[in-house]
């Protein structure tokens, strides 16, 4: 019996060896193919980034007319002023953004004595207008005030629902810049009135927090500013 088994093993040996070798290669190959997939499956998926919430501009604190803010004088440096030919009468305005930076801080200056408003972007004057301002019983405040509200279709809640198009609110007690019928002899209840077409342009270039500086005869130093484009 032992001799028979030995003979069978001898005759079947090559087949068993070849089969075992192929089986081993099969295991190696299948292991080489399957491992990356297994590793990928085992690796933790990268964490998806949570969508970032859009930044909400911080609304500046409201101020009363008797609470103007401090402002760095360097922010009032003038690099260019507009060239305005001829007299500047009530109802007139100028607007020219050519040659001015497309971005940069916007500052508005108002001179009550000169009855004019200028808007600067990065030190370049891009607009100017003749204004209306507060009468003696309700004068316009002096000092620097941030824009705290914008409303293109605003109506006064203090003065008989009067229209105040393209309103830029400056104080908590009702002072704003807005579109008006700017005519000689008219006045406001403390607001700064500008031609409606100019108010629309001004509305488009300003944002909350931009500063308006109101003076009564004190003008910016333009001695080193170029004129025109």
Give the ranges where the chain is alpha helix by DSSP (H). 2-42, 196-205
Write the pLDDT tens digit of every residue in 23-61. 333 333 333 333 333 344 445 555 555 555 555 557 788
Diameter of the chain measured on Cα atoms: 135
Residue 169 has pLDDT above 90, yes or no: yes
Residue whose pair of structure tokens reads 């060896």 in the numeric block: 17
Q: 177: how many CB neighbours lie within 10 A of its CB?
A: 30
Write the pLDDT tens digit of every residue in 99-128. 999 999 999 999 999 999 999 999 999 999
| pTM metric for this prediction | 0.73
């Amino acid at each position: 019996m032992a001799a028979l088994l030995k003979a069978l093993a001898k005759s079947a040996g090559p087949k068993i060896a070849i089969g075992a070798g192929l089986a081993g290669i099969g295991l190696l190959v299948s292991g080489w193919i399957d491992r990356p997939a297994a590793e990928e499956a085992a690796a933790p998926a990268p964490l998806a980034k949570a969508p970032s919430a859009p930044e909400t501009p911080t609304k500046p604190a409201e101020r009363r007319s008797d609470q103007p803010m401090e402002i760095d004088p360097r922010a009032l440096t003038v690099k260019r002023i507009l060239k305005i030919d001829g007299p500047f009468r009530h109802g007139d305005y100028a607007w020219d953004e050519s040659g001015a930076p497309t971005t940069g801080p916007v500052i508005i200056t108002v001179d009550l004595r000169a009855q004019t408003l200028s808007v600067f972007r990065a030190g370049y004057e891009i607009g100017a207008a003749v204004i209306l301002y507060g009468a003696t019983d309700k004068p316009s405040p002096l000092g620097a005030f941030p824009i705290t509200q914008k409303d293109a279709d605003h109506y006064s809640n203090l003065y008989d629902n009067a229209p105040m198009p393209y309103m830029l609110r400056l104080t908590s007690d009702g002072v704003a810049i807005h579109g008006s019928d700017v005519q000689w002899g008219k006045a406001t209840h403390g607001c700064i009135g500008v031609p409606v077409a100019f108010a629309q342009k001004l509305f488009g270039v300003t944002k909350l927090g931009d500063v308006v500086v109101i003076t009564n005869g004190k003008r910016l130093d333009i001695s080193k500013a170029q004129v025109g484009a």
